[in-house]
Structure 1
Amino acid sequence: MPETLQPATESFTLSGSVHVLLQFDVSEEIRLDRLRNLLRAPTVQQPALKHPAPGYVRYKRPPVVEPTEPLILDTGERLLGEIKYYDYGVLSVIFQLPFSGTWETLISLTSRWAWEIDFAAHASRIVRQRLQIAAPALIKPYNEWLSEDYLIVHVRHITGSPTATELIATYGDSIAQVVRGDTLPLSADERKEVLQSSISYYPTDLAIIGWNAAFLYDTPSGAEAAIQLLEYANSQLLEFRHYDDLLTRVLDDVYDSFEQRQGFFTRFRHAGSANRLHTVLLEVMELTEHADNAIKFLSDMFAARLYRLAASKVGVLDYKDLVHQKIDTAEDLYRFMVDQFNQSRAFFLESAVVIILVIELIYLFRGKGF
């Protein structure tokens, strides 16, 4: 039987909650105003601040949020859940389980949840059920969904209330195992790799971000802001993965058209292909800007740094670079195809002028002008 967490008591080493984040890219866009009417659900609150400053983190269009039915695992664990709808077509399902226990118990739990339980299947079932109601609010829904999953461990209290520095020094090995979802001790190099992706604002808070999990040692309000930023980073990853797939398919079609037998009139057909390519380019650039600007960091530099760290670890920046490279390639191809068309059109017009002149000369020499 898997090890289960015990009810909260002061005798245990640490307490907090474990969050499982599942996200699905279901459509090009979601009309949140219409969705609110369909679901009668509120929008998500703006993230709480780490410090009383004039700057803050602001959603351009805050996602709509609604609770879901609890998820009960085979082990008897009962997870609370909620679902968020982002205007750029991503649905985010979060399951949460409060815990108190030892480091060993937490390591066992995170490893089991990371590798043994198919949370995506549970979340997908919930999403499909909710979309039966929300479908009228979707713009250009997708037949196939890209998905991402992420594990977030929020430790609210640790016996002795250590500082972030003390926590890493004393429990660094355990934290690294939690972030990696591994029950075995990690090598010194792997431990260093995990722990170097850390960030703190106060001496008593700590966030360590990994590619598939994060460890947060913070107050509930501080952790809430970090969790929302991690959600946003993972949703951006989904969006850029979608754009990468879309551009790959479009570029493959263009390359296939170039490999076909080329003739004089083929270049005229390139005009239609160029127009379609340009339409896709404009659409992708508009949607990427939409996803990029979904959240704003106004003077809150810590939130901005936390987001950049999360984005780099989960792969947003890598996919963003890929998308921009393919956009550049597509723009070069578009210019090439337009140039080919213009050259062919110029040649055709020049040929037509020459033919007209020849005909006119023939009539002239025969004594018959036009």
Structure 2
Amino acid sequence: MAETSTQSMPELEPSLEGTLLLLVQFDVCDEIQIDQLAQTLGIPTLSQSGLRPSAPVYGRYERPPLVEPFEDVLFPGEGKLSGEVKYYDYGVLSVLIHLPFSGDWPSLIKQTSHWMWEVDLAAHAERIMHEKVARATPCMIKAYKRCLSEEYVIFHTRNVSGVRNATQVLSQHGSRIAQVVRGDSGELSEGEVTEVLRSQISYYATDLAVVGWNAAFLYDTTAGAKDAVQLLEYANSQLLELRYYDELLTQELAEVYKQLERKTGAFARWRLAGSATRLQTTLLEVSELTERVDNAIKFLSDMFAARLYRLAATRVGVSDYRNIVTAKIHVAEDLYQFMVDQFNQSRAFLLELTVVIILVVELIFLFHGKGF
């Protein structure tokens, strides 16, 4: 009877413990003066320590973000949660909410799917953002009236029952990890699982990161996961900035096209000088901001951090948006040169016309004098 009873018992789902990290980033201004803000808030900046302490020389922030922890913030449907806000010098405010998790894989998949597709994370995080921006406004340069946002979900675990290393995690739970990264509770095809798991990376046999477009799965120590989260935050902030540049260039190009569609002529071309100046100013602004964002982190001897960053940047769409922005910059440069050429032609025409008028006036006076 005991054997029959044991055989009829349902198989228990493997359990896991960890933290769901809900990341929402806002592009709030052109620049945040970090040192001034640190004095205002009375908190230190991140140290220049590396992203993987075991390496002899580290990847490091050129200008580390300012980190402000928060606790007991009421989050609709979840009660009071803790987390942190990061202020990046290139104008991004990052809200990272910590949501403890303990349960089985189906519960985790359901949770990630819920936060990725059923909840407007940006709307919930806006209250925190507005509160922080109100305090940081004196330290912000050229604050935006409308803030673009990016959302990302990260699950970090170190405790998965029945496994001891990354290889076992993948072999036993690869399809479920793919569901977590996709935020899909339905059973994925083998091809889709393979595609998701292509974006995996490990440094030790006991750590694993699987990175997707809007979510990531981390199996690592707390310290290792912290490094990975920083790089994922940085990649998403780059995407956010590139989206802003894309919108900025799109608006500026639309204005230029409108002006070029108007009636042409010498005097109409003369007015192109102002548009050319504005376009050139926008190009310089985009170049300056892009350089600041791209150089925010330097990877020295930590090649793993560099590889993890490149993987994250590719998966979240940084490379795609960079290509879009680069293409629009080339179009803007061509338009700028065209408008300058049109203006120069107009100026040359007006100069020639002025010379002709002067000659005609002189001839009139000459013949008028002879008439007397």
The TM-score with structure 1 as length reference comes to 0.91
Which residue number corresponds to residue 109 of structure 1? 111
Distance 2:332 2:179 in 1: 43
Superposition deviation, residue 246 in structure 1? 0.5
Given candidates 81, 95, 98, the residue that maps to 1:96 is: 98
User: Is contact 1:12–1:100 with CA below 8 Å preserved after alignment?
Assistant: no
Distance 1:77 1:104 in 2: 23
User: Is contact 1:47–1:224 with CA below 8 Å preserved after alignment?
Assistant: no
Task: Work out the number of aligned pairs and report it.
Answer: 358
Superposition deviation, residue 150 in structure 1? 0.3
Report SS of the residue matched to 2:345.
helix
Deviations 1:210-240 (A, max 9, x none): 0010001111111100000000011111111
Which residue number corresponds to residue 352 of structure 1? 354
Aligned CA distance change for structure 1 residues 199 and 43 (closer, same or farther; 3 Å): same
**RMSD (Å) for aligned C-alpha atoms:** 2.0
> Is 1:185 paired with 2:184?
no
Superposition deviation, residue 68 in structure 1? 1.9
Which residue number corresponds to residue 60 of structure 1? 62
Distance 1:309 1:76 in 2: 32
User: Is contact 2:50–2:57 with CA below 8 Å preserved after alignment?
Assistant: no
Distance 1:93 1:57 in 2: 23
Deviations 1:13-33 (A, max 9, x none): 322211000101111111111
Superposition deviation, residue 57 in structure 1? 1.6
Instruction: Tell me which moved more, 41-50 or 147-156.
Output: 41-50
Distance 1:125 1:313 in 2: 29
Aligned CA distance change for structure 1 residues 76 and 273 (closer, same or farther; 3 Å): closer
Report SS of the residue matched to 2:271.
helix
Report SS of the residue matched to 2:299.
strand
User: Is contact 1:16–1:100 with CA below 8 Å preserved after alignment?
Assistant: yes
Instruction: Tell me which moved more, 49-58 or 228-237.
Output: 49-58
Same amino acid, percent of matched pairs: 60
Distance 1:161 1:126 in 2: 38
Given candidates 265, 287, 292, the residue that maps to 1:285 is: 287
Residue identity opposite 2:205 in structure 1? P
Report SS of the residue matched to 2:279.
helix
Which residue number corresponds to residue 309 of structure 1? 311
Given candidates 127, 132, 138, the residue that maps to 2:140 is: 138
Superposition deviation, residue 12 in structure 1? 6.0
> Is 1:170 paired with 2:162?
no
The TM-score with structure 2 as length reference comes to 0.90
Aligned CA distance change for structure 1 residues 46 and 77 (closer, same or farther; 3 Å): farther
Deviations 1:29-62 (A, max 9, x none): 1111111122112223456544622331211111
Instruction: Tell me which moved more, 246-255 or 341-350.
Output: 341-350
Which residue number corresponds to residue 7 of structure 2? none
Deviations 1:238-288 (A, max 9, x none): 111001000000000000001112222011111111111111111111111
Which residue number corresponds to residue 43 of structure 2? 41
User: Is contact 1:46–1:57 with CA below 8 Å preserved after alignment?
Assistant: no
Superposed counterparts of 1:150-299, under 5 Å? 150-299=152-301
Residue identity opposite 2:170 in structure 1? I
Superposition deviation, residue 84 in structure 1? 0.7
Which residue number corresponds to residue 148 of structure 1? 150
Distance 1:334 1:165 in 2: 55
* Contiguous gaps of at least 5 residues in structure 2: 1-12
Report SS of the residue matched to 1:27.
strand
Aligned CA distance change for structure 1 residues 109 and 200 (closer, same or farther; 3 Å): same
Report SS of the residue matched to 2:27.
strand
